[in-house]
Structure 1
Amino acid sequence: MSTKEYNEWIIDFYKKRGWYDYNPFIRTCFLTEEVGEVSRAVRSIEIGRDRPDETLLDQSVLHNNLKEELADVLDNVLILADKYSITLDEIMQYQIKKLEQRFEE
């Protein structure tokens, strides 16, 4: 699946469940929550959680959890962008241009 196809698929998925209807301010709160979950997933991989009430998880489980949380962040970014009529391609092109101009060698 291409990034464009995924972008369209996730927007449709969210719309079918009524999740797309949340306004951008609320969506940003969801994004912030998911970024925190990415932080927790990375911490678990890198230094562990050191909690006696939790069992140690296999690295493959931790890695899959990180993929899940990164996907949740991506989904929220795509939905926010769509609400402002910004495509993933536009975001990527904008970033490439910005970085090339900023760090010209």
Structure 2
Amino acid sequence: MNLQQYQHWLVEYYKLRQWYGYNPFIRLNFLTEEVGELAQAVRAYEIGRDRPDESAQSQVQKLQHIEEELGDVLNNLLILADKYELNLTDILQASQQKILNRFKDEK
């Protein structure tokens, strides 16, 4: 499955669950929440968390948590792109071009 196929499936699933109707401002808040959870997962993996109320996890479990949170962040980004009818290929190409233009004098 490629990214566009996944986005199409995700949009249909969100519509089925009645999650798609949230406006982009609310969706952005969901994205922010997920980025915070990703930050917490990366922190746990990189420097640990000194919390007696949390069970200890192996590095493999911590890495799986990072993967899960990256998926949640990606899902919210894909829904936002769909809400604004933005094409993923166009987004990626524009981003690549921006980076290349920014650093074109460095060779």
Shorter-normalised TM-score: what interval? over 0.9
Tell me how large the CA RMSD over aligned residues is.
0.9
The residue aligned with 1:24 is 24
Q: Which stretch of the first structure deviates more once superposed, 51-60 or 66-75?
A: 51-60
- For 1:1-105, what aligned pairs fall within 5 Å after superposition? 1-105=1-105
Count, aligned residues: 105
SS in 2 for 1:11: helix
Distance 2:27 2:76 in 1: 7
SS in 2 for 1:19: coil
Distance 1:34 1:47 in 2: 20
Following superposition, the deviation at residue 9 of structure 1 comes to: 0.9
Distance 2:74 2:87 in 1: 13
Residue 76 of structure 1 aligns with an amino acid whose one-letter code is: N
Distance 1:15 1:87 in 2: 19
Q: Give the structure-1-normalised TM-score.
A: 0.96
Unaligned runs of 5+ in 2: none
Give % identity.
52
Unaligned runs of 5+ in 1: none
Distance 1:14 1:60 in 2: 30
Q: Which stretch of the first structure deviates more once superposed, 28-37 or 8-17?
A: 8-17
Q: Give the structure-2-normalised TM-score.
A: 0.94
Following superposition, the deviation at residue 27 of structure 1 comes to: 0.2
Distance 1:78 1:11 in 2: 8
Distance 2:28 2:3 in 1: 21
